């Protein structure tokens, strides 16, 4: 009897513990697998873009791609110069930012330093709704409301133009800029403000000369996020700025962006493996590299100007 | 202090007060720009689209005749695609969030995953469409189907779910973990029985906001080749015979609300553009309703939980 008990005892006491440890290990591995899916996504994106662009660049030289000023891959004599698409992207981005950065920054300073808590509680969600509206709805608004409105003072404005697309895009970006900038400014310690007030500065002087510089790393991160949004925005420009790849720096003309080109081409039926099919991946690679440059720039700016309290 | 100096001081104070008032006016104006635009957008679209909103609009397929066209295939498509997105993104997103917050050690793997999630959130949505076109459609041969679309959008939503899960878990005080540990609970038991139930409300908020974004997302779905003219519904998931459930609808071709709207906007005739406005009203209503639910949940939670 006692022999049997001795034999059984390790299994009775150890079995639950082994099962329990095993279960813990399995759960951890499953969770790790889920977390690694994000790395797989990044690898997938870069892999697909580089793979398809590679076959594209075997037929079109990279130098031609970067320097030719005409983009007409669907014509008889196709030409593959990405410059017009990049110029369209940059013009709409600059128009959007020249609206979003001043308005977003002023709104952020006002909400953080001047507004009463009650106003802030109301205004913040209202601004965040702006970021939640589907972009195709903004495209509709830019094309059928803002453009006709702009045509009253500017009668020569064509129906598709980068100006109205950029302006509406700027409105859409305001909440991205203002909400992150405001968080950065509210994180500035109160004693810096108190020190400034003690020296006789007004609230405005404190906001502009103490709080703003102290929060500059967060604010520049907000700007960078705004730039990435503007560069990658698709539906507003596809609807309101047109689908013609034209090399122009004038926002009052129509021109396609990189994203608008991809949307325009994929609306039709693209045979897999054709050169046209590969162009969208080459264009996508340029887009990813542009956003990547801005992101890295933002990273360094943030590090460079970070203030340690 | 002489009288002169005093006058100078008064002028200085007056000037500073003046600039401060000017700035406040600018601050209110820049807030108003956004809010007025929002109102103009909503009012303009409602005026254009309201005459077209009728029962018939919700129960008809797209048509060459604008007065017969409707959004039946579009809203059914949106619901099915979002269902796939939710099923794919919620478990993976929550699991990654838990791993990063509770398990990940401070080493290179944790750092890489962390940087990755931040970067993924900044990649333009159309790039996800290219990934789906190259990988899901061409390599894995999933076709231009509801399954492909749902998976594409789930990749897009994943960073949002991960970030909100992490924030929700981080907000739970360590005393809870220590108490569970002291009673002999294992790590996973602590998470499953305590951490998750306490944070599920905030996680849900993030999920709803992410899905609302997926509802409005257009570009990646155009890229994978969603059609704009679908005059049929996908196969029904429920059958009258055994096994009563069918997954054929996953392979069906589809359209969604924003693509239907985009198609109508790009037509030159104004009648179709008023159809686009009507579809836009429905779309905005859907996304705003989802956001409102999320805000409501957040508000309820804030009142209930006090650590």
Are the beta carbons of B34 and A171 separated by less than 8 Å? Answer: yes
With contact defined as beta carbons under 8 Å apart, do B169 and B99 qualify?
A: no
Q: What is residue B1's predicted lDDT score, i.e. its pLDDT?
A: 57
Q: What is residue B247's predicted lDDT score, i.e. its pLDDT?
A: 66
Q: Could you tell me if A250 lies within 8 Å of chain B, comparing CB atoms?
A: no
Concatenate the DSSP letters of all residues of chain A into one string: -HHHHHHHHHHHHHHHHHHHHHHHHHHHHHHHHHHHHHHHHHHHHHHHHHHHHHHHHHHS-HHHHHH---B-TTSSS--B--HHHHHHHHHHHHHHHHHHHHHHHHHHHIIIIIS-HHHHHHHHHHHHHHHHS-HHHHHHHIIIIIHHHHTTT-TT--SS-HHHHHHHHHHHHHHHHHHHHHHHHHTS-HHHHHHHHHTT--HHHHIIIIIHHHTHHHHHHHHHHHHHHHHH--HHHHHHS-S-------TTS----HHHHHHHHHTS---TTSHHHHHHHHHHHHHHHHHHHHHHHHHHHHHHTPPP-
pLDDT under 50: residue ranges of chain A: 1-2, 6
Are the beta carbons of A202 and B17 separated by less than 8 Å? Answer: yes
What is the sign, positive or negative, of the torsion defined by CA atoms of A36, A42, A47, A48?
positive
| Residue of B30, B38, B128 to mutate for A, most A C-beta atoms under 10 A | B30
Residues of chain A with Cβ-Cβ distance to B28 below 8 Å are 110
Residue tagged 């801005």 (tokens): A294
d(CA A258, CA A276): 14
Q: What is A83-304's CATH number, 1.10.3720.10, 1.20.200.10, 3.40.50.450, 3.40.1010.10? A: 1.10.3720.10
Q: What is residue A1's predicted lDDT score, i.e. its pLDDT?
A: 46
- Reported ipTM: the value is 0.86
Q: Could you tell me if B219 lies within 8 Å of chain A, comparing CB atoms?
A: yes
If asked whether residues B248 and B169 sit together in one domain, one would say yes
Residues of chain B with Cβ-Cβ distance to A284 below 8 Å are 126-127, 130
How close A264 comes to chain B (CA, Å)? 9
Q: What is residue B110's predicted lDDT score, i.e. its pLDDT?
A: 76
Provide the CA B108 distance to its chain's centre, in angstroms: 31
If asked whether residues B36 and B116 sit together in one domain, one would say no
Measured N-to-C along each axis, helices A162-186 and B3-49 cross at an angle, to the nearest 10 degrees, of 130
Give Cα separations from A303 to A25, A201, A296, B111 (angstroms).
38, 29, 11, 17
- Asked whether the predicted pLDDT for residue B296 surpasses 50, the reply is yes
Are the beta carbons of B130 and A39 separated by less than 8 Å? Answer: no
Which tokens hold the place of B155? 């990749």
Are the beta carbons of B134 and A41 separated by less than 8 Å? Answer: no
d(CA B81, CA B254): 9
Q: What is residue A274's predicted lDDT score, i.e. its pLDDT?
A: 79
How many Cβ atoms are within 10 Å of A98's Cβ, its own excluded? 14
Provide the CA B144 distance to its chain's centre, in angstroms: 22
Q: What's the average model confidence in pLDDT over B191-206?
A: 87
If asked whether residues B47 and B89 sit together in one domain, one would say no
d(CA B298, CA B168): 11
Burial class (CB in 10 A: 0-12, 13-18, 19+), A263: buried
CATH assignment of the domain containing B216 = 1.10.3720.10
Candidate from A24, A38, A272 with C-beta closest to B187: A24
The pLDDT tens digits of the residues spanning B58-83 come to 777 777 777 777 788 888 888 889 99
Q: Could you tell me if A22 lies within 8 Å of chain B, comparing CB atoms?
A: no
Q: Could you tell me if A48 lies within 8 Å of chain B, comparing CB atoms?
A: yes
Residues of chain A with Cβ-Cβ distance to B228 below 8 Å are 267
**Coil, helix or strand for B217?**
coil
Which tokens hold the place of B65? 């005749």
With contact defined as beta carbons under 8 Å apart, do A149 and A228 qualify?
A: no
Terminal CA-to-CA distance of chain A, rounded, Å?
Answer: 72
Which tokens hold the place of A3? 């022999």
If asked whether residues B102 and B11 sit together in one domain, one would say no
- Asked whether the predicted pLDDT for residue B155 surpasses 70, the reply is yes
If asked whether residues B296 and B203 sit together in one domain, one would say yes
- Asked whether the predicted pLDDT for residue B253 surpasses 90, the reply is no
Candidate from A49, A140, A238 with C-beta closest to B280: A140
Which tokens hold the place of B248? 């054929």
- Asked whether the predicted pLDDT for residue B92 surpasses 90, the reply is yes
Candidate from A45, A127, A202 with C-beta closest to B20: A202
If asked whether residues B23 and B68 sit together in one domain, one would say no
Residue tagged 């996504």 (tokens): A41
If asked whether residues B274 and B159 sit together in one domain, one would say yes
Q: What is residue A69's predicted lDDT score, i.e. its pLDDT?
A: 74
If asked whether residues B252 and B134 sit together in one domain, one would say yes
Q: What is residue B114's predicted lDDT score, i.e. its pLDDT?
A: 78
Q: Could you tell me if B78 lies within 8 Å of chain A, comparing CB atoms?
A: no
Candidate from B30, B119, B216 with C-beta closest to A134: B216
- Asked whether the predicted pLDDT for residue B258 surpasses 50, the reply is yes
Candidate from A104, A203, A281 with C-beta closest to B20: A203
Reported confidence tier of residue B246, pLDDT bands at 50, 70, 90: low
Length of chain B: 307
Closest Cα to residue A141, out of B287, B51, B46?
B46
If asked whether residues B133 and B278 sit together in one domain, one would say yes
Count of A-B CB contacts under 8 Å: 255
**Coil, helix or strand for B245?**
strand
The residue range of the domain holding B83 is: 55-304
How close A5 comes to chain B (CA, Å)? 26
Residues of chain A with Cβ-Cβ distance to B273 below 8 Å are 140, 144
**Coil, helix or strand for B80?**
helix
With contact defined as beta carbons under 8 Å apart, do B158 and A37 qualify?
A: yes
| Residue of B127, B153, B290 to mutate for A, most A C-beta atoms under 10 A | B127
Closest Cα to residue A170, out of A251, A109, A116?
A251
Of A24-33, A266-275, B25-34, B205-214, the range with the lowest mean pLDDT is: A266-275
Q: What's the average model confidence in pLDDT over B132-136?
A: 85
If asked whether residues B177 and B265 sit together in one domain, one would say yes
If asked whether residues B172 and B76 sit together in one domain, one would say yes
Provide the CA B259 distance to its chain's centre, in angstroms: 16
If asked whether residues B93 and B33 sit together in one domain, one would say no
């Amino acid at each position: 009897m006692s022999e049997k008990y001795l034999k059984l005892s390790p299994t009775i006491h150890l079995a639950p513990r082994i099962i329990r440890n095993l279960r813990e290990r399995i759960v951890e591995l499953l969770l790790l697998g889920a977390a690694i899916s994000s790395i797989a996504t990044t690898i997938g994106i870069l892999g697909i873009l580089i793979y398809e662009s590679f076959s594209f660049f075997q037929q079109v030289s990279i130098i031609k791609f970067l320097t030719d000023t005409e983009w007409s891959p669907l014509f008889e004599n196709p030409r593959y110069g990405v410059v017009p698409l990049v110029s369209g992207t940059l013009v709409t981005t600059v128009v959007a930012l020249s609206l979003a950065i001043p308005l977003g920054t002023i709104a952020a300073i006002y909400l953080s330093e001047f507004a009463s808590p009650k106003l802030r509680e109301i205004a913040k969600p209202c601004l965040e709704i702006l970021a939640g509206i589907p972009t195709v709805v903004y495209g509709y608004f830019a094309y059928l409301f803002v453009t006709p409105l702009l045509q009253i003072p500017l009668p020569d404005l064509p129906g598709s133009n980068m100006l109205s697309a950029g302006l509406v895009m700027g409105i859409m970006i305001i909440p991205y800029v203002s909400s992150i900038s405001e968080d950065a400014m509210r994180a500035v310690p109160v004693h810096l403000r108190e020190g400034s007030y003690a020296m006789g500065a007004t609230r405005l002087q404190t906001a502009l000369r103490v709080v703003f510089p102290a929060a500059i790393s967060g604010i520049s991160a907000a700007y960078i996020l705004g730039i990435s949004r503007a560069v990658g925005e698709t539906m507003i420009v596809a609807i309101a700025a047109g689908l013609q790849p034209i090399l122009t720096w004038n926002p009052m003309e129509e021109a396609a962006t990189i994203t608008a080109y991809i949307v325009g081409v994929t609306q039709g039926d693209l045979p897999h493996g054709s050169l046209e099919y590969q162009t969208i991946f080459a264009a996508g690679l340029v887009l990813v590299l542009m956003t990547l440059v801005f992101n890295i720039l933002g990273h360094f700016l943030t590090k460079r100007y970070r203030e340690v309290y | 202090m002489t009288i002169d100096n005093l006058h100078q001081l008064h002028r200085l104070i007056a000037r500073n007060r003046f600039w401060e008032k000017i700035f406040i006016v600018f601050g209110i104006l820049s807030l108003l720009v956004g809010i007025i635009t929002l109102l103009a957008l909503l009012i303009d679209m409602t005026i254009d689209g309201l005459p077209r909103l009728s029962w018939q609009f919700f129960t008809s397929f797209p048509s060459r005749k604008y007065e017969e066209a409707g959004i039946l295939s579009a809203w059914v498509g949106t619901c099915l695609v979002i269902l796939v997105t939710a099923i794919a993104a919620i478990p993976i997103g929550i699991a990654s969030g838990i791993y990063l917050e509770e398990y990940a050690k401070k080493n290179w793997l944790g750092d890489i995953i962390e940087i990755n999630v931040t970067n993924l959130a900044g990649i333009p949505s159309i790039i996800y469409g290219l990934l789906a076109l190259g990988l899901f459609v061409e390599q894995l041969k999933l076709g231009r189907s509801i399954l492909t679309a749902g998976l594409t959008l789930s990749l897009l939503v994943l960073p949002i779910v991960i970030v909100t899960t992490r924030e929700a878990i981080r907000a739970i005080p360590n005393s809870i973990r220590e108490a569970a540990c002291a009673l002999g609970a294992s790590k996973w038991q602590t998470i499953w029985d305590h951490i998750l139930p306490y944070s599920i409300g905030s996680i849900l908020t993030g999920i709803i906001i992410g899905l609302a974004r997926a509802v409005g997302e257009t570009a990646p779905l155009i890229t994978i080749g969603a059609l704009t003219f679908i005059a049929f519904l996908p196969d029904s998931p429920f059958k009258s015979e055994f096994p009563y459930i069918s997954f054929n609808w996953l392979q069906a071709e589809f359209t969604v609300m924003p693509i239907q709207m985009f198609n109508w906007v790009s037509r030159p005739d104004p009648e179709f553009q008023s159809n686009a406005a009507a579809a836009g009203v429905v779309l905005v209503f859907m996304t705003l309703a989802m956001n409102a639910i999320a805000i409501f949940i957040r508000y309820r939670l804030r009142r209930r939980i006090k650590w």
